[in-house]
Amino acid sequence: MTTPASLRPARPRDDLPSVARLLTLSDNVVAIALTLLVFQLKVPATAQVHDPDSAADLAAQLAKRADQLISYLIAFYVVAQFWLAHHRFLWVALVLGAVLLVRSLTGTPARRERPSGRPRRHHRYRDDDQARQ
């Protein structure tokens, strides 16, 4: 008889969020923040616009509220820059994690060799090395 999945003990890494889940969460937070920013923009009432079918009249009324539009664009830009930096950071962390995992599985060293191909020498006791020569 098999035990249901809900009764099985969790593996140690099951409780850690994956990078994809963190990216999804950050995407949703940014979407909510940008939505809240849009709510601050005010569209002129039809009574303020002389001809409701005219795009030029609507543009003229919106131009009177240009300060709101400019502040929205600046806030949008700032939030978008934070979002892009967060995405870059998580993808770099994902790639670095994969590289370190591959290196640990294959046994390759974490440090690079010198361009000359000669191994590095780390001398702990310089006096002993000079005495041998």
Per-residue pLDDT band at 78 (split at 50, 70, 90): very high
Residue 127 resides in a domain = no
Residue 105 lies in a domain: yes
Where does the chain have alpha helices with state H?
19-38, 55-63, 66-106, 126-132
Number of domains in the chain: 1
User: Is the residue at 13 inside a domain?
Assistant: no
Please indicate, yes or no, whether the overall pTM of this predicted structure exceeds 0.75.
Answer: no
Residue 130 lies in a domain: no
Residue 128 lies in a domain: no
Residue 117 lies in a domain: no
Residue 83 domain-assigned (yes or no): yes
Which tens digits make up the pLDDT trace of 6-62?
555 555 555 556 777 878 888 999 999 999 998 888 877 877 778 877 888 878 888
Domain with 28, as residue range(s), is 19-109
The amino acid occupying position 84 is L
Is 37 domain-assigned?
yes
pLDDT at 7: 58
Top-confidence residue, 103 or 71:
71
Burial of 86 (0-12, 13-18, 19+ CB in 10 A): middle
Tokens coding 92: 């770099």
Dist CA 8 CA 10 (whole Å) = 6
C-alpha to C-alpha distance for 35 and 44, rounded to whole angstroms: 19
